[in-house]
Amino acid sequence: MANNVPVPTYESLDKIYDSSALAKQGPRYNALVEKFTSIYGRKPDFIARSPGRVNLIGEHIDYCGFGVLPMAIERDVIIAVATTDDDSKVRIANMNPKYEPREFDFEGKETIVTIDSTKHEWSNYFKCGYKGMLERADNLEKPKGMYLLMDGTVPAGSGLSSSAAVVCTSALATIEANKLPLSKQELTEIAIVAERNVGVNSGGMDQSASVFSEQQYALHVEFVPRLSTRLVRLPETQPPMAFVIANTLVTADKFVSGPRNYNLRVVETKMAALFLSKVLDLPSSDSLKEVFDSYAAAAGKDNSEVAKYDALLERIANIFPQDSSNGQGYSLEEVSDMTGLPVQTLKEKYMTRFPVETDYFRLVQRTHHVLTEARRVVEFVDVCSKAPANTLEVLGSIMNASQESCDKFFNCSCPEINQVCEIARQHGAYGARLTGAGWGGCTVMLTTESNVPTLIEAIKDGYYRQKFPELSQDQLDDAVLATKPGSGSAVFNGF
Ligand code: NG1
């Protein structure tokens, strides 16, 4: 897929949304323009838009370098923008009154803007996109002043990638306001790095899905040797397939829990790669994908992709030493012995920029998850292209195996996710799994179009009405919904 094309500009919302969404999106865009005009006394010049995403398969492997298969959803972030040459101030407001208006100024070409990542502050996500873009704009002496109004419909902390949607939209708003000639590829790469400014060691799946997705397709994103994306058409099954997303309403905030969850997992996979590259006598690397590639190259056999995973999994089955903690994982000293890196080096390299809190590092379990999950992505994509008669069953069982591995080996599920997946499987879902980082957030289920109402009702009854009896009908409808693959980032100027 051509990655160096610009982000498209549309004058009509039907280029962005499925026809079934227009009755809702039209009034939403009108309300944004109206509110913008009442706050700033002028109309916006354009609206930037980037969606959230649901990941179909490939969890917690993007930051190890392995390919993943997300698709964009209708839920998104839109920012109305007007520019001025009078100053270089940024004024930003939000349609949600929970987020108070903010103002900041361009601090010069060196700093651009200061981001205090110790503070949990909504405008930091805008600043990430703004800073990331302007760092790349060598020829720009002084950026435009900006008037902004944001509206987001991706639930925060739900695994649907609300933060990436904000950062990508912010970066896109900054590009368009300053007429910077940047491609989709550059926008994505900058947004990936930019998001790390808020203190989360993020992978690159979300930003890629947000920018590159297209209606009716899932997106196979690969990161090695460099970011590349390929559209994967979802098979036409008989009966027709459908995806449902259910939010457990357990909020998993990476910013708060990162040191024990997300950032720790990133570090564990890096330590595992260091150990494996050493013990397998491969070029030293802290990327499991590089270990996989070097091992496959050294094995030299003309294996299929899946067979390459099997070969490595078999080779490492008994390669990790016994830990001294009775199966809880390795102490930092043990990791130091295994990798040959002094404790101090490990701390400086892996535990300083993104803090980590733990007594033990569970390298065996994490490696097992990452390699089997990467294998599942290859299988899933393959089934999509071959579309055998039992496609629904096969894809469903791959999703179920992913959930089991996330729960047992990566410990990123939680009782609520397990419960929703179980209810779903009992009510016509072929497969059900967490999507995104986990520890709460959303689940994704594969079912048939005709079973969607039954499945949704079963989850409302079996989960929400038990655990959250106070939810209104609107909140319930918002928590569990059918979804179709949607389109990626765009600029809209049809108002
Ligand atoms: P969420 O929390 O769903 O946005 C995070 C990472 C992804 C990926 C998944 C797990 C960020 C912005 N996103 O997704 O890159 O690693 O977890 O597969 O950190």
- Model pLDDT for residues 430-462, shown as the tens digit of each residue: 999 999 999 999 999 999 999 999 999 999 999
Q: How far is the CA of 437 from the centre of ligand 1 (A)?
A: 5
pLDDT at 157: 73
Regarding the beta carbon of 373 and ligand 1, being less than 6 Å apart is answered no
| pLDDT(465) > 70 | yes
| pLDDT(302) > 80 | no
Q: How far is the CA of 124 from the centre of ligand 1 (A)?
A: 18
Q: Which of 61, 62, 287 is the best mutation target for the ligand 1 pocket, counting ligand atoms within 8 Å of the beta carbon and taking the most? A: 62
Closest atom, ligand 1, to C-alpha of 158: 3
Regarding the beta carbon of 200 and ligand 1, being less than 6 Å apart is answered yes
Among 94-98, 194-198, 413-417, the minimum mean pLDDT is found in: 194-198
- Model pLDDT for residues 309-338, shown as the tens digit of each residue: 999 999 999 999 999 999 999 999 999 999
| pLDDT(188) > 90 | yes
| pLDDT(467) > 90 | yes
- Model pLDDT for residues 149-161, shown as the tens digit of each residue: 999 999 887 889 9
pLDDT at 255: 67
| Segments making up each domain of the chain, as ranges | 9-234+488-492, 256-361
pLDDT at 11: 97
| pLDDT(197) > 80 | no
Q: Which of 202, 266, 268, 413 is the best mutation target for the ligand 1 pocket, counting ligand atoms within 8 Å of the beta carbon and taking the most? A: 202
| pLDDT(353) > 90 | no
DSSP state of 57: E
Regarding the beta carbon of 62 and ligand 1, being less than 6 Å apart is answered yes
Average confidence (pLDDT) over 62-71: 97
Closest atom, ligand 1, to C-alpha of 63: 16
pLDDT at 1: 61
| pLDDT(421) > 70 | yes
In angstroms, the CA 281 to CA 151 distance is: 52
Residue whose CA is at the smallest distance from ligand 1 atom 13: 202
- Model pLDDT for residues 260-281, shown as the tens digit of each residue: 999 999 999 999 999 999 999 9
Q: How far is the CA of 163 from the centre of ligand 1 (A)?
A: 9
pLDDT at 201: 64
- pLDDT bucket at 100, cuts 50 / 70 / 90: very high
Residue whose CA is at the smallest distance from ligand 1 atom 11: 202
Average confidence (pLDDT) over 90-102: 97
- Model pLDDT for residues 237-252, shown as the tens digit of each residue: 999 999 999 999 998 7
| pLDDT(44) > 90 | yes
Q: Does domain 9-234+488-492 have CATH number 3.10.20.30?
A: no
Q: What is the CA radius of gyration of the chain?
A: 23
Residue whose CA is at the smallest distance from ligand 1 atom 12: 202
- pLDDT bucket at 114, cuts 50 / 70 / 90: very high
Regarding the beta carbon of 406 and ligand 1, being less than 6 Å apart is answered no
Average confidence (pLDDT) over 72-98: 97
- pLDDT bucket at 354, cuts 50 / 70 / 90: confident
What residues contact 260, with CB distance under 8 A and at least 6 apart?
Answer: 357, 358
pLDDT at 303: 82
Q: Which helix (H) or strand (E) holds 75?
A: strand 69-84
Closest atom, ligand 1, to C-alpha of 205: 15
What pTM does this model have?
0.92
**Alpha-carbon distances of 366 from 267, 268, 371, 381, 412, rounded to whole Å:** 10, 7, 9, 23, 11
User: Where do runs of H (alpha helix) occur along 319-358?
Assistant: 332-339, 343-350
In angstroms, the CA 381 to CA 246 distance is: 23
Structure tokens at 457: 């009702």
Closest atom, ligand 1, to C-alpha of 59: 18
pLDDT at 489: 98
> Is 206 tagged catalytic?
yes
pLDDT at 254: 66
Regarding the beta carbon of 433 and ligand 1, being less than 6 Å apart is answered no
- pLDDT bucket at 299, cuts 50 / 70 / 90: confident
Average confidence (pLDDT) over 66-86: 97
Is the N-terminal amide bond of 415 cis, ω within 30° of 0? no
pLDDT at 355: 87
Q: How far is the CA of 254 from the centre of ligand 1 (A)?
A: 9
Residue whose CA is at the smallest distance from ligand 1 atom 17: 437
Question: Percentage of residues in the chain with pLDDT exceeding 70?
Answer: 98
In angstroms, the CA 367 to CA 324 distance is: 19
Regarding the beta carbon of 60 and ligand 1, being less than 6 Å apart is answered yes
In angstroms, the CA 413 to CA 18 distance is: 31
The CATH-assigned architecture of domain 256-361 is Up-down Bundle (1.20)
- The DSSP result for 194-248, as a single string, is HHGGGT----SHHHHHHHH--TTEEEEEE-SSS-EEEEEEPP--SSPEEEEEEE-
pLDDT at 140: 87
Regarding the beta carbon of 205 and ligand 1, being less than 6 Å apart is answered yes
Average confidence (pLDDT) over 219-228: 93
- pLDDT bucket at 3, cuts 50 / 70 / 90: confident
- The DSSP result for 172-205, as a single string, is HHHHHHTT---BHHHHHHHHHHHHGGGT----SH
Residue whose CA is at the smallest distance from ligand 1 atom 4: 161
Catalytic residue among 76, 206, 253, 293: 206
- Model pLDDT for residues 368-414, shown as the tens digit of each residue: 999 999 999 999 999 999 999 999 999 999 999 999 999 999 999 99
Q: How far is the CA of 60 from the centre of ligand 1 (A)?
A: 7
